[in-house]
A and B are shown apart, each in its own frame.
Chain A
Amino acid sequence: MLKGRVHKYGANVDTDAIIPARYLNVSDPYELARHCMEDIDLDFVKKAKPGDIIVATTNFGCGSSREHAPIAIKASGVSAVIAGSFARIFFRNAINIGLPLLESPEAVEAADAGDELEIDLDSGTINNLTKGKTFRASAYPVFMSGIIRAGGLIEYTRERLKNISAGAAKTTKDA
């Protein structure tokens, strides 16, 4: 169960806004987190508390493929991002590194900055405690749930590689 306060943004929050390219000469998560959202919200870094939730309207994370964007958000302590829709590469990157994303235009519309939310990732339920309303996010496709369950793409790939080499060993033995 995740719980935190809402930081609310509009449409097309791009990856340059999430982490400006001028800071991409490093890849340390905590160094990146120091500049998260800087160009559209100078106060974000000061305001963000562990567990907080970013809520945005549509096309969140558009632009660059830089994984530094979800990394910066995650290292800021943000526990999840809720949006009406996500840009494709950002969505993939966030799943790969284990930053939970939830798609729910209704939850976005109802949420105001400072609202307290509670999220149950297993059921995809978003509970707006301040407003007393409950929403359901779209479920992850089964394929993607496998990556999430494994704890990210690297863990998932590691398991796959283990199975492949176990399979290869078996074949050799059989032969």
Chain B
Amino acid sequence: MNLAEKILAAHAGKERVSPGEFISARVDVVLANDITAPIAIREFWKLGLEKVFDPKKIVLVPDHFVPNKDIQSAEQAKILREFARAQGVNFFECGQMGIEHVILHEKGLVMPGDLVIGADSHTCTYGALGAFATGMGSTDVASAMATGDIWMKVPPTIKFVYKGKLPKHVGGKDLILYTIGKIGVDGALYAAMEFGGEVIDKLSMEGRFTMANMAIEAGAKAGLFYADKKAVAYAKGRGKRQPVVFEPDADAKYEAVHEYDVSGMEPQVALPHLPSNVKPVSQVGRVYIDQVVIGSCTNGRFEDLQVAANILNKKKVNSNVRCIIIPGSQQVYMDALRSGYIEVFIEAGCAVSTPTCGPCLGGHMGILATGEKCLATTNRNFIGRMGSPKSEVYLAGPAVAAASAIAGKIVSPGDLAT
């Protein structure tokens, strides 16, 4: 069996599972946010139960419209807060929190070998830890909060092997954008993506979280990594539970195997309006930008801010650009502060915000006007994603984003005059 099959079989109490099979699986973590939890809670009450199956396994994070931007979003967050207090589930209040897919592993709530479901499509992020993690809707979460299990169809797995050596300024974001560019936004529809190879072995946990995070942008159900020593050490240092490491069998079956040699790879950019519309940065052409956003559940971790700070150090953001930097969690914010990066950002002329998903989904804190262009380290560039349906979003990693903020147009860090 491959990695996805092993984890799912263990949670379904079966010796073996095969693609296409329907299973009922035990869940270790159930997640929802301030957009999806209000509906989940409403549906949960319809079941006529008083208590959730296990409050320790449920996590509610208000992160999309917080700090609340208006009365309606405040009402939504209030529903979570009151439910969390009454049920005793994990809840992370504004000021002690972060973006859900940055804090769940940071706080040790997800461990290798877990089965995680979340009412947010980027729940697949935890695949970086060797967990089977997948996005679902509010009603699925309501049912899982009640029963502690979930029905699932075992997906086929597509394997991605990265060979060679990553060039300078190329990271996890570039690898996943390149991959989505090759296979398309439905290239892994209904499948699990399993990432491996010598490049992945050397990749940081941050880089792996970024890659797993965007598996959904290829239509995948999950993006999985084998939990090697690095992943186990990361999890053990944070969590209270023991990691369970599943390893794909030598004769594991895959629907397809793709191999990429990345030694000559340039930083990648996804052009409007699909994450698969990817080009190497040198072929993007002259694109002047109005805004840069560095943050989100894709690239709001410490390493991302470190990459950006190293490029923005003693430089100024172009006078035509608004550069918004959003640490993904209070911990990331504190670490960046202590490392001097926040000072670097403010001296360069960036706006630095408390953690929020705000601009990534056109919620608040960086909405685009008609005709404006933004280069963001976020995960989607659909029409109207960050504001006006007549605005444009380009996606890239933090290195290209920081360099472009300085240049006022999309460039590679290597193109900046030193």
Which residues of A are in contact with B by a Cβ distance under 8 Å? 12, 14, 16-17, 20-22, 24-27, 38-40, 58-59, 62-68, 70-71, 85, 87-89, 92-93, 96-97, 141, 143, 152-154, 157-158, 160-161
Q: State whether A20 and B362 are in contact (beta carbons under 8 Å apart), knowing that A12-B186, A89-B135, A92-B137 are contacts in the complex.
A: yes
Q: State whether A24 and B64 are in contact (beta carbons under 8 Å apart), knowing that A65-B136, A89-B137, A92-B137 are contacts in the complex.
A: yes
Tell me if B90 counts as interface (CB < 8 A to partner A): no
Tell me if B383 counts as interface (CB < 8 A to partner A): yes
B118: A residues at CB distance < 8 A: 65
Closest to B190 in A: A88
A16: B residues at CB distance < 8 A: 361-362, 380, 382-385
Q: Give bound CA distance, A80 to B140, whole Å.
A: 21
Tell me if B330 counts as interface (CB < 8 A to partner A): no
Contact B383 A40 (CB under 8 A): yes
Q: Give bound CA distance, A27 to B73, whole Å.
A: 10
Contact B76 A65 (CB under 8 A): no
Contact B219 A59 (CB under 8 A): yes
Q: Give bound CA distance, A59 to B180, whole Å.
A: 15
Which of A20, A22, A59, A71 is close to B189, meaning CB atoms less than 8 Å apart?
A59
**Closest CB of chain B to A141's CB: distance in Å?**
7
Tell me if B260 counts as interface (CB < 8 A to partner A): no
Q: State whether A143 and B219 are in contact (beta carbons under 8 Å apart), knowing that A20-B384, A40-B383 are contacts in the complex.
A: no
Contact A161 B39 (CB under 8 A): no
Which of B39, B47, B153, B274 is close to A67, meaning CB atoms less than 8 Å apart?
B39
Closest to A16 in B: B382
Closest to A98 in B: B139
Q: Give bound CA distance, A62 to B221, whole Å.
A: 12
Closest to A86 in B: B189
How many residues of B are counted as interface, with CB atoms below 8 angstroms from the partner's CB atoms? 54
Q: Give bound CA distance, A26 to B385, whole Å.
A: 18
Contact A59 B186 (CB under 8 A): yes
B138: A residues at CB distance < 8 A: 67, 93
Give the residues from 118 to 167 in chain B that come closer than 8 angstroms, CB to CB, to chain A: 118-121, 123, 135-140, 142-143, 146-147, 151, 153
A-B contact pairs, 20 of them (CB 8 A): A12-B185, A16-B384, A25-B73, A27-B39, A27-B76, A39-B383, A59-B186, A59-B219, A64-B120, A68-B39, A87-B219, A89-B121, A89-B216, A93-B136, A96-B139, A96-B140, A153-B143, A154-B139, A160-B147, A161-B49
Q: Give bound CA distance, A24 to B73, whole Å.
A: 8
A66: B residues at CB distance < 8 A: 35-36, 137
**Closest CB of chain B to A27's CB: distance in Å?**
5
Q: Give bound CA distance, A89 to B48, whole Å.
A: 26
Which of A21, A87, A157 is close to B146, meaning CB atoms less than 8 Å apart?
A157
**Closest CB of chain B to A155's CB: distance in Å?**
9
Contact B137 A154 (CB under 8 A): no
Contact A92 B385 (CB under 8 A): no
Q: State whether A25 and B76 are in contact (beta carbons under 8 Å apart), knowing that A67-B139, A88-B219 are contacts in the complex.
A: yes
Tell me if B338 counts as interface (CB < 8 A to partner A): no
**Closest CB of chain B to A93's CB: distance in Å?**
4
Q: Give bound CA distance, A131 to B216, whole Å.
A: 37
Contact A63 B70 (CB under 8 A): no
B73: A residues at CB distance < 8 A: 25
Q: State whether A152 and B121 are in contact (beta carbons under 8 Å apart), knowing that A12-B186, A21-B362, A27-B39 are contacts in the complex.
A: no
Contact A63 B382 (CB under 8 A): yes
Which residues of B are in contact with A by a Cβ distance under 8 Å? 22, 35-36, 38-39, 42-43, 46-49, 64-65, 69-70, 72-73, 76, 118-121, 123, 135-140, 142-143, 146-147, 151, 153, 185-186, 189-190, 216, 219, 221, 274, 361-363, 367, 380, 382-385, 387, 389
Which of B48, B151, B361, B384 is close to A158, meaning CB atoms less than 8 Å apart?
B48
Q: Give bound CA distance, A39 to B391, whole Å.
A: 11
Contact A92 B140 (CB under 8 A): yes
Which of B46, B64, B136 is close to A89, meaning CB atoms less than 8 Å apart?
B136
Contact A39 B384 (CB under 8 A): yes
Closest to A58 in B: B186
Contact B47 A158 (CB under 8 A): yes
Q: Give bound CA distance, A24 to B37, whole Å.
A: 12
B121: A residues at CB distance < 8 A: 63-65, 89
Contact B383 A26 (CB under 8 A): no
**Closest CB of chain A to B119's CB: distance in Å?**
6
Contact A25 B147 (CB under 8 A): no
Closest to A42 in B: B389
Q: Give bound CA distance, A64 to B385, whole Å.
A: 11
Which of A64, A97, A154 is close to B47, meaning CB atoms less than 8 Å apart?
A154
Contact A63 B380 (CB under 8 A): yes
B43: A residues at CB distance < 8 A: 154
Contact B139 A152 (CB under 8 A): yes
Q: Give bound CA distance, A160 to B382, whole Å.
A: 39
B151: A residues at CB distance < 8 A: 143
A22: B residues at CB distance < 8 A: 362-363, 367, 387
Closest to A21 in B: B361
A63: B residues at CB distance < 8 A: 121, 216, 380, 382
Contact B274 A24 (CB under 8 A): no
